[in-house]
Structure 1
């Protein structure tokens, strides 16, 4: 990622979005960027949705068990209240936040803060998820990560849900989801539809 040199001395903020399917390494990449910033003695604040307690109630934790301390919040506006005097704001699982997350990220960037957001760009049906499409639209930098399809070994971009639960939000790990490529995902969906009619 190339950042233009700041000739004027004015502090400039921007928005980075890390997206992809489950098991693609989004949180791992978010943690990596935030830890590098901490090594550089930059002030960092990290936030995650309070509903995400899969690994830890407060820490952001990757599937590989890397972690970084965060603040769980119920409302994206809370970020503006808590992100004072910081250089970088990290936000994990952005797809679960309310629609104000867009304005929050814009305001932070305008204050000169680097905003790093990670989240699922598609839900288990392969549809755009929550506010992620809008975040991708306003992002200055986008990193799309891929998992490996558990069926064929090709690049995977969809989180296939193994259960029959229909609600869009269903927290789970490998017991509930697996990464699949487009072809294997559609084959799985066809089998599900077929079994419903039998």
Structure 2
């Protein structure tokens, strides 16, 4: 059994017991750049606020900026993220029903809740790839008022918001029908306008 926990919190139990987690995600010591893994960091600053960043690998995209920009505001900045998992519980989380990801991601959801309950951060940053919440929350057949995914997401958000003063969401990582970087490079190489669809 794999047992990864945040050592800096002896009073809160944050464990992942899944052998799938070990095989798929590795361990904190093996978090190679660009690889899957559990990302856990604590930074000390000059301020008096506590800040927590949760998410998947996209949380790592903003940690250095958060660390630098808010250095004078936080006393402690903690990052707790795991690749490929959505940090807010939703019944339609893409990992649910996926035998490789379901157990470690549901364990991460619960570990996030326990960590937030324990730390009660002044500011909670949430940054993850929204495309993992497939299918898109709104489509031609649903509205915001009757969409189950939005209701589930709101439930998860309400659950976390009881223990923090402010929640900040990173920009949504929009989904497209094609890979934007590939399409842009191809059009530039061909000398085609990037304004036209065809």
Bigger relative contact order, structure 1 or 2, given CA contacts below 8 A and separation 6+?
1
TM-score tier after normalising by the smaller chain length: 0.3 to 0.5
Normalised TM-score (structure 1): 0.36
Greater fraction helix: 2
